[in-house]
Each structure stands twice: as structure tokens, then as C-alpha cells.
Amino acid sequence: MEYVLSPEEMVAQTSGCLALDVTRPTQQQASQANQVSSDADFQSIADGICALDVWNQLLTPLTNSFPLDNGCAHVDLGSLPQTGFSQETGLYLSPSEDDDGVLGVLAGIFLDHIHPSMPFFKRSYLLDNLGLKRQEHDISFNALIHAICALTLLQTSHRSGPTILPNRKEQAETLMSRAVQLHSSTNLGEAPTLENVLTSIFLFACQFCRENHNAAKFRLREASTLAEIMKLGELQAYGWLAPDERDRRLRTVLGLTLLERVYAIQRAYPLNEKSLTRGHVHVIQGMLEQGFSNYELQDLQAVSSLKDMIESFDFVDSRLLKCWRNECWVEGNERHVSPATVCTLLKRYASSIPDSGAHNWDSQRADITITRHWMRSVLWKLASRHGFVSDLSNDKELRPKYVISIATDAIVTCESFGISTLEVHGIGLTEKLYDIITSALEFMETRQNPTSMPLNDDPSLGHGNVSAQTLSPCRKRNALASSGTGSDAPEPICPPAGLCNRYLAIFASFMGGDHPFLGPYMQKLCGLDIFGP
């Protein structure tokens, strides 16, 4: 028997103030929940969710039952020497061996778990410079290593055996403060170094993890401006460079291009008009690949993953972003993406990527594959907004049920990895999963109530569709037609309760539920008529 949360119970557990009205689980139900084994998979856990009346009863069986897979090194930072930060002055004291010890430990964790997804430099670059204590005499490198270590604390798994570190966020704030202090020189931007660009990128990532998206946007634009001053996107500027410097610059410009395109979709970040075109990106990829023979295996794998991620976003340009933001309808000469283009891209990203079997490949494969599912969701929403989705479409990718297929494929992918493998990628991965499942839920609500448009009004907020009020008359007709209004309206499509519960299990387990998407997801479930009495 499958036990699921009723909408009333989920509201009670989310708000905390309505829990008195919830019936406690029976002894049999509680016993079933507590018997979930430590090596259970996501499906068995989702099937065992009971109607529990307090958060601990809901979350404890879930978070204790997912496979931890020992994929992430855990260090009790409370036992490490503290950095010399003065709370009174807000400034650091002189560097000490204690500082170097903390930086070295965190840099090692970064290289093992985050670097494969952010390979802006070779592993040896960080290790060699730390060994030479470059941070003691080079301010720009010192700022960079502090920003890297701050991100490591913010993004890597919060699990340390059975306990959660109480001072993790505080230490991250301390490291960020130091990075900003070192980075913000009076002449920043006059003669920037690659370390300046990278520090801005890692500070962007830190602010993203902290959900400070105005600050994140500022740091990403800062990185883009510094890169432009350094002419990183100009091919003729690479001829005279030493091989290692050339390699780092090529990696940086590709990684920055990727970040800008992803953030342009997520948060309406204004794409730089000088952003590399698809053809230009492929040329730079070719230049980077020329040095592959000098790479160590782990570096080769990381750069290959960067190439895979770039290929997932190589179609993103200003024209597509105008369509995504609903700006194409206000132009005098409307230019939209075509149904054929969207369908081709949907088919492209539905194909799986081969398993290389390489060391630490699971972490990279999880990031790439879930991102590809997210792009399918983005493209399908784009098609829906333009009236391309119809029950009568010859292409299954442009039919209403396909949004459920995307959500199902994404959760199957998640369930194939241990939870700590997913946690390595931080809340950015959770946000993509949240977008995928809520896109399905919101479209289903529109099908059940065709007079309403999807829940979120502004795609610039990062999680939503466009409201009916912003549609042109032509687009309103297309949107209503795709929703099936009128006498020929199709049967409503409801996502199965099991699928919703599987996502609930992921969100509850990810970082112990300590992220911004668990509560809103449960609130969305409350409005669905799929759980029965």
C-alpha cells in the first residue's frame, strides 16, 4: 500500500502552525517508514512516504536512508585552526600557517568534487601555487584561493557522518569577506589578470549559492567586463602566450560563456552583445583541444565535460532569449524560433551521453545529464508559450504529455546516483529539478483549468511561465488552442502521485532539506487533485 501526504498534511508540515489538525500515523505506518534500509533507492523511499505530522518524522527517514556513496570527503572544519579575522575591525590579521592549513584542506576538497564541473585551470595550477605559497605575495591569487574555498564550503555536501557542521556558513562568510577585500583594489580593471576574472566568477558562484542574485549578477558582469578588457574572446590575442597561460585563458572564456548563457535563462541576465557566437565557441574549443596531449587524465576528463556542457547551450543566442523572455512579441518585425528548431533540439537533448567509466565520472555525468533534461524543459516551455504544443502534433516532443516524460526521465536520472553525488553541485542542481517538475505541474493545472495561465508571471524570476496578461492576441489564441479549450478540449493530464512523491523524496533528502525549494514544492503539491481522499 502506498502512503502519500494529503494536501492538508503537506500545508500543515510546511507552515508549522497547522500541525495540530493532522492525524498521527498509525503504528503500522510509522514502522513501515522506519524500516527503510540504508541502501534503499529513491523509488523505494518515495513509495514509503507516510502521512507524518511533524517535519522530523518526514525528513529523518528520508535523509538517513539515501545512499551516501562516500563520494564526498567530509572534514570537520570546527577542528581546524580558525583564520585570523577580526570581528571588531572587519579586517584580517597577518597571514599565518593556520590560514594556509585551512586553505590547503578546502582546496583539496574543491579539486576532488567541484573542479570537474568548473575546470577553469589545471589541477596542478592550484596545487603548485599553493605549494609555493603564492598567496603570501600575490594579492590576486590570494583573493582567488579564498573565493574558491568559500565556494567549497557553500556548495559541497553538508553531511559529515551523522552530524552537520554548525559553523560552515559562518566560515564561508569569513572567507568571502577576505576574498572581496583582496579583490577590490583601487585599480581593479585597469590592468586585470586572469586571477581577477576567476575571482569574480567564483564570487558569482558564492552569491548564487547564497541566493543573492543581484550580487551574483553584478559579479558575473564584472567577470565579463574584465575578460573583455583582457580580450579573452579575440583569437588573435593568443598567438604569443605561453602554453599554460593560453590553456587557462581558453578554459576561462569558454566557462564564462557557459555561465552567462545559463544565467541568461535562469535570471534574465542580459547577454553580452559581444558574447561568443556558436561558430566562435567551436573554434576556441578546437584551440583548447590542441593541448589535450599535455593533459593529465583528470584534467582531460574535466575539459571534456566542459565541452559537453557548452554543446548543451551552443544554440542560446539573443534571438532565442527574446523569445524566452516574451520580448519577441513586442517587436515591430516579429521573429520567433520555429517549431522545427525546437523539435530538433528536444530530440537532440533526449539522447543519453555515453558513460566514459572514468574516475569521478558520476559527478560530471549527473551534472551534464540533469542539465540536458532541464534544457528540454526550457525548450518545451518555449514551444508551449508560442502555441506549438498540441495534442494533434505529428511530433511527440510537441504534445502535452511530453512534459511528463521530461520530468520522469529527470527523476530516473537522479535515482541512478547517490545523494552526495548530487549534492556536490549545490542548489543550482536542485533549482533545475524544481523547474522541471513545476513546469509539468503548472501546465497540468492549465489543462485542468484552461481559463488560467501558468502560475508564475515573469520568466525573469527564473521559475515560471508568462501570464495571460502579457500575451498578444495572436499568442493568446495559440496558447488556448494548445491547452485544448472549447468543445474539443482533451482530457486533463495529471502527473501521477508517485512521480510527485519521488521528487519530494529528492528535495527532502538533498542537504537535509536545507535549500529554498522544498517548501515551495510542497505548497504546489497542495493544489493538485491527484492524491485521493
Pick the more confident residue, 451 or 175.
Answer: 175
Residues in Cβ contact with 129 at an 8 Å cutoff, skipping those fewer than 6 apart: 135, 141
> In 168-194, which positions are buried (b, 16+ CB within 10 angstroms) versus exposed (e)?
beebbbbbbbbbbbbbeeeeeeeebeb
Q: What is the pTM of this model?
A: 0.74
Mean pLDDT computed over 219-228: 95
295-326 pLDDT tens trace:
676 777 777 778 788 877 878 877 788 888 77
Res 479 pLDDT > 90: no
Res 238 pLDDT > 70: yes
Mean pLDDT computed over 191-204: 97
Pick the more confident residue, 256 or 464.
Answer: 256
Res 163 pLDDT > 60: no
54-102 pLDDT tens trace:
334 444 444 443 444 433 333 444 433 344 443 433 434 334 445 668 8
Tracing cell 491547452 back to the chain, one arrives at: 483
List phi, psi (to 5°) of 78.
-65, -25
Dihedral sign, CA of 371, 374, 380, 383? negative
Residues in Cβ contact with 500 at an 8 Å cutoff, skipping those fewer than 6 apart: 437, 441, 525, 528, 530
Predicted pLDDT at 450: 55
Say if residues 7 and 528 touch (Cβ distance below 8 Å). yes
Q: Record the cell numbers describing residue 180, joined without a space.
A: 572581496
Q: Which amino acid is at 210?
A: R
pLDDT, the chain, mean? 73
- The burial of 89, by beta-carbon neighbours within 10 Å (0-12 exposed, 13-18 middle, 19 or more buried), is given as exposed
Q: How far is CA 257 from the centre of its chain?
A: 16
Report the C-alpha gap between 509 and 106 in whole angstroms. 24
Residue 19 is given by DSSP the state G
Mean pLDDT computed over 505-516: 90
Predicted pLDDT at 508: 93
Report the C-alpha gap between 513 and 519 in whole angstroms. 9
Comparing 242-256, 363-377, 444-458, 499-513, the range with the smallest average pLDDT is 444-458
Residue 180: CA atoms inside 13 Å, Cβ hemisphere, count? Answer: 16
> In 343-375, which positions are buried (b, 16+ CB within 10 angstroms) versus exposed (e)?
bebbeebbeeeeeeebebbbbbbbbbbbbbbbb
- Return the percentage of the chain with pLDDT > 70, whole number: 64
Q: Record the cell numbers describing residue 111, joined without a space.
A: 579539486
Comparing 196-205, 327-336, 374-383, the range with the smallest average pLDDT is 327-336
Question: Is residue 380 helix, strand or coil?
Answer: helix
Comparing 179-193, 215-229, 318-332, 383-397, the range with the smallest average pLDDT is 318-332
C-alpha closest to that of 323 among 369, 403, 383: 383
Per the DSSP assignment, residues forming a β-bridge with 163 are: 160
253-290 pLDDT tens trace:
999 989 998 998 888 788 766 666 767 777 877 787 77
Mean pLDDT computed over 391-413: 93
Question: Is residue 163 helix, strand or coil?
Answer: strand
Comparing 162-171, 368-377, 515-524, the range with the smallest average pLDDT is 162-171
Mean pLDDT computed over 470-484: 41
Predicted pLDDT at 158: 53
Mean pLDDT computed over 22-44: 40
Report the C-alpha gap between 249 and 515 in whole angstroms. 34
Mean pLDDT computed over 212-241: 91
